[in-house]
Amino acid sequence: MGVTESNESQDRVGYVHIQDIPQLNQEHCRMRDPQRVERIINEFVCGGPERMQIVSDFDYTITKQRTDDGVAVPSSFGIFNSCKSLPDNFKEEIDKLFHKYHPIEIDPHMPIPEKVQYMIEWWTQSGKLASGFAFDLAELDQMAGQFRHALRDGTHELFQALQRLRIPVLVFSAGLGNSVVSLMQQANIMHPNVKVVSNFLRFRDGLLDGFQEPMIHIFNKNETVLEGGEYYELVHTRDHIIVMGDSLGDADMAAGVPASSHILRIGFLFHHVEANMEKYMNAFDIVLVDDQTMSVPQALLALIDNRHQMRHPHGSNGTASVQAQPNSAL
Ligand SMILES: C[n+]1cn([C@@H]2O[C@H](COP(=O)(O)OP(=O)(O)O)[C@@H](O)[C@H]2O)c2nc(N)[nH]c(=O)c21
Ligand SMILES: [Mg+2]
């Protein structure tokens, strides 16, 4: 156990000390406020699985930022864009949009409300480009399947544990939902407790017709877009939340949940580590530098699970049934 603490609650039997969690003591694991992290972890452990929910980004959060064989993993939009049957000018036009709008997306000076307008324009125009031609989703499955082994190490085990503990998992992506679901299905992690909220292709009269509503762009990628929907009903009383992402904006994915919630944000930092460190440390509670595994979320879940097993040794987990249907209406 850790050093003697003066605080009464920290003297409690079963209180978890951060120094006793090896995964949080690794060199590449940084925390701005370890005491806050410790406090939240103890809230999670005491509250048990029935109060937990997970909100995760997809691209480069569930998929790896760097693979062992050096093969670059495409984004969910990238998987779609690489389909060979798309019309000749599609790739060219979509790249033009990327070169116009991506600099705006990452512009450090433009105020967010102004950016939002541009992002809506970008997603709308991409949707228009993906319209008016036939497209076989089997081709997308085939493309996505090539990257089913590009998930972070331990993703399988993490998702299995989340399913067993009936913890709802929301995968939030401003990318293309069809690629996300296809890849997750082919990797066998699309369990019934997993819900993907993203942009899904729409078909009309056998032809592609852009994306289904509502549009999910990087600035509305948070729980406010779920309000009033079925998933919201399922999770709004689950006030212990782990948020995982690789982009700074991902830290806000739980915006919209009650203010009294306990939120632990885990950020996977890979690009421009030095330049980004301060911002990531301010946005996320735990920053993992070039960590291509799920070991930290797995370790946190194991602590919650162990305490839960101690309370319910005979397997009665006492959790409510939380069977979120993938892709059901919001
Ligand atoms: C509309 N549109 C948006 N994006 C990018 O898709 C990303 C989706 O955002 P995200 O869901 O936060 O995914 P991430 O994990 O990749 O950060 C945004 O950051 C945009 O840069 C896009 N990328 C491509 N290739 N094509 C597109 O049409 C397109
Ligand atoms: Mg991402």
Q: pLDDT class for 316, splitting at 50, 70, 90?
A: low
Fold of 18-68+142-308: Rossmann fold (3.40.50)
Task: Name the β-bridge partners of 288.
Answer: 29, 268
Atom of ligand 1 nearest to the CA of 123: 1
Ligand 1 pocket test, pick from 62, 95, 98 with the greatest ligand atom count within 8 Å of Cβ, gives 98
Query: How far apart, in whole angstroms, are the C-alpha atoms of residue 37 and residue 45?
Result: 12
The model's pLDDT over 295-307, given as tens digits with 9 standing for 90+, comes to 999 999 999 999 9
From the candidates 33, 59, 153, 246, which is the catalytic residue?
59
Q: pLDDT class for 13, splitting at 50, 70, 90?
A: confident
pLDDT at 320 over 60: no
What is the share, in percent, of the chain residues with pLDDT greater than 90?
A: 83
Q: pLDDT class for 262, splitting at 50, 70, 90?
A: very high
The pLDDT score that the predictor gives to residue 7 is: 64
Atom of ligand 1 nearest to the CA of 102: 21
Q: Report ipTM for this prediction.
A: 0.97
Please, what is the average pLDDT of the chain? 92
Ligand 1 pocket test, pick from 58, 60, 65, 75 with the greatest ligand atom count within 8 Å of Cβ, gives 75
169-176 vs 207-211, strand pairing mode:
unpaired
pLDDT at 329 over 80: no
Query: How far apart, in whole angstroms, are the C-alpha atoms of residue 82 and residue 132?
Result: 18
Active site residue 246: no
Active site residue 59: yes
Q: What is the mean pLDDT of residues 224-236?
A: 89
Distance between Cα 119 and ligand 1 center (Å) = 10
The model's pLDDT over 160-186, given as tens digits with 9 standing for 90+, comes to 999 999 999 999 999 999 999 999 999
Please tell me the pTM assigned to this model.
0.93
Q: What is the mean pLDDT of residues 38-67?
A: 98
Pocket of ligand 1 (CB under 6 A): 57-60, 75, 77-78, 81, 94, 97-98, 102, 105, 122-123, 126, 173-175, 218, 247
Distance between Cα 129 and ligand 1 center (Å) = 15
Q: Which two tokens stand for residue 308?
A: 């839960």
The model's pLDDT over 197-213, given as tens digits with 9 standing for 90+, comes to 999 999 999 999 999 99
pLDDT at 275 over 90: yes
Find how far residue 295's CA is from the centre of its chain.
Answer: 15
Instruction: Name the residue with the closest Cα to ligand 1, atom 23.
Output: 77
The pLDDT score that the predictor gives to residue 6 is: 52
Atom of ligand 1 nearest to the CA of 105: 21
- Greater confidence (262 vs 259) lies with 262
The pLDDT score that the predictor gives to residue 11 is: 65
pLDDT at 8 over 90: no
Q: What is the mean pLDDT of residues 114-122?
A: 97
Q: What is the mean pLDDT of residues 82-97?
A: 96
